[in-house]
């Protein structure tokens, strides 16, 4: 019988050591608790993130291996380079965070999205209002055609989800984010769980221990205060 630690809403308590997470399902660490700003920031600083279906208990994860992007090494395919060179898309930061997270919450083929319920949306909008969560938006005129959002903690960016309403929209958002991060000395983008789409764009896998080691150092470092004002 599997014993899974339980967290309690409204209680200040420590997470279990992420190295004690289950092997099956891969990375499941604890359940319960809440989505308060303090708890979420504590989780991400320790390499832990929430992922659960609406109506179910909150589940906390730290999978092994961990999917990440080295921001200097995002892969831009030839076809994507051609698309970007002929497009008239424009890019913004934090102009439409609420629209991005709600678009990510929609069901999309090949991407996990329906797990983002209203409590998650409210929690990350609170993180955004306090300057922790950020979005990159891709626009075709006044139409939002792609986007990505996540948390910036020190020099680590913890990616949460992305969406596309036009061919290449999510890829363009990811590429723009990686370039922004790399140019501002943020070398790692946590992509959490591996999938073929991320691998095709240059994501790599790190063991949990490797990831936790990198993350522990990066979250303690400062990033440029004004980096979210331009792209």
Integer Cα distance of 92 and 136 in angstroms: 6
pTM: 0.94
Q: What's residue 4's pLDDT?
A: 93
Pick the CATH number of 6-63 from 3.40.50.620, 3.30.70.3550, 3.10.450.50, 3.40.50.300: 3.30.70.3550
Thinking of the domain 67-229, which architecture would CATH place it in? 3-Layer(aba) Sandwich (3.40)
Q: What's residue 110's pLDDT?
A: 46
Domain ranges, ordered by start, for the chain: 6-63, 67-229
Residues of the chain with pLDDT under 70: 1-2, 107-114, 224-226, 228-231
Q: What's residue 231's pLDDT?
A: 43
Q: State the Cα torsion 76-149-38-32 to the nearest 10°.
A: -90
| Cis, peptide link before residue 25, omega less than 30° from 0 | yes
The reply to whether 6-63 and 67-229 are identical in fold is no
Pairing of strands 143-153, 156-164: antiparallel
């Amino acid at each position: 019988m599997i014993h899974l630690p339980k967290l309690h809403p409204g209680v200040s308590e420590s997470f279990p050591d992420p190295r004690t997470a289950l092997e099956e399902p891969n990375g499941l660490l604890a359940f319960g608790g809440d989505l308060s700003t303090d708890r979420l920031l504590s989780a991400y600083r320790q390499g832990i993130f929430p992922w659960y279906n609406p109506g179910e208990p909150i589940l906390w994860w730290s999978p092994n291996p961990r999917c990440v992007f080295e921001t200097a090494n995002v892969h831009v395919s030839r076809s994507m380079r051609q698309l970007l060179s002929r497009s008239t898309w424009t890019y913004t930061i934090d102009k439409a965070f609420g629209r991005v997270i709600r678009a990510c919450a929609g069901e999309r083929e090949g991407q996990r999205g329906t797990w983002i319920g209203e409590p998650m949306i409210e929690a990350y909008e609170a993180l955004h209002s306090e300057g922790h969560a950020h979005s990159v938006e891709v626009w075709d005129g006044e139409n939002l055609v792609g986007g990505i959002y996540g948390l910036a903690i020190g020099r680590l960016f913890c990616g949460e989800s992305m969406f596309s309403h036009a061919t290449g929209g999510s890829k363009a958002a990811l590429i723009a984010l990686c370039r922004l991060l790399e140019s501002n000395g943020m070398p790692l983008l946590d992509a959490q769980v591996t999938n073929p789409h991320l691998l095709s764009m240059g994501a790599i896998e790190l063991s949990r221990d490797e990831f936790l080691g990198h993350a522990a150092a990066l979250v303690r470092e400062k990033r440029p205060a004004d980096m979210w004002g331009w792209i």
